Amino acid sequence: MKFRFFDENPISDLDPNQKLRGFETFDTASDSRKNLVKVLRGRSVDADQLVDILANCRNGTRCLSAACPVCVRRFRMVWCSRIARCVMNNADRWCAASIVPAELALPRGELDRFEVTRAKERLRKQLERSPIKRAAIIGGFDYALQTFDGRAPKWRPHMYLLIEASQGRIEVALKRHYPNDPDTRKAVIIKPLTWGIQSSMKTATYTFKAEFYKRAPGTDVRGNSDPEQMSLSPAERTELALLLHKQGFLGRTIRRGRHADFRELTTR
């Protein structure tokens, strides 16, 4: 079922814009949209095409680009409120799984080679033959640039998934597919969810992040309040914006299984 999120309003009691401390404000998102337009302008033909789209994002005629901070904020309000409704009263039935697949790493300058559809298809095949093949799964892709001492940085596409299954079953399903390596010390981290409206909304925001960073050597590519996170350069921001735009909102998400509170999941 298609998720027509731009025709929907967030669930008011669970709208992170109203209820979650620290959620981005409209003014912040609007400033970052203007700032991104300045960064993109003149960098390439594709970047200039994206400038034309983002610069015309207005109230009533939103651009709907998944690179647009204003439209991302709007998507996150609907998406996160829906997720919070699924998990808040059943936190003990859900876990969060953060997965950093080594094989998805790409050199800086080559992020356009990342194929989200292929990455999702690979995950689907892994799940099909696993003890969590029928579990509801809601999440998405996140991006970080991992830096190293004396080596070129790498983009690290990774996933953050909420899974309605026990920690043990999720470990059996996922861990064998994602080995650790020297640059990925913990490829899979699985944690039970905690109860509460605030934590449900906060967890939901991790499935579709609005800000992206460089991560210093020795720190994890995830990290929500990571002290060693650094801003991306203009060239890196351009690379990432073009990828996000190409993927679209639903392209970046992962939705699987069935859930009464989130009918737009897909079972394949």
As measured in angstroms, the least distance from the Cβ of 131 to Zn ion is 41
Give the residues across from 172 on adjacent strands.
none
As measured in angstroms, the least distance from the Cβ of 27 to Zn ion is 15
Could you tell me how many helices (H) and strands (E) the chain has, helices first? 8, 10
Task: Between 34 and 175, name the residue whose CB sits nearer to Zn ion.
Answer: 34
Q: Are 33 and 69 in contact (CB under 8 A)?
A: yes
As measured in angstroms, the least distance from the Cβ of 29 to Zn ion is 9
As measured in angstroms, the least distance from the Cβ of 74 to Zn ion is 8
Asked if 77 touches Zn ion (CB under 5 A), the answer is no
Task: Choose which of 14, 68, 99, 244 interacts with Zn ion (CB under 5 A).
Answer: 68
Q: Are 187 and 101 in contact (CB under 8 A)?
A: yes
> Residues 234-263 vs Zn ion: string with x where CB under 5 A?
------------------------------
Helix residue spans in the chain (DSSP H): 16-19, 26-40, 45-55, 69-87, 116-128, 167-174, 197-206, 234-252
Task: Choose which of 36, 37, 71, 165 interacts with Zn ion (CB under 5 A).
Answer: 71
Integer angstrom CA distances of residue 113 from 107, 110, 121, 170 = 10, 6, 16, 29
> Residues 38-67 vs Zn ion: string with x where CB under 5 A?
-------------------x----xx----
Cα distance between residue 226 and residue 260, in whole Å: 35
* Residues engaged in binding Zn ion (CB under 5 A): 57, 62-63, 68, 70-71
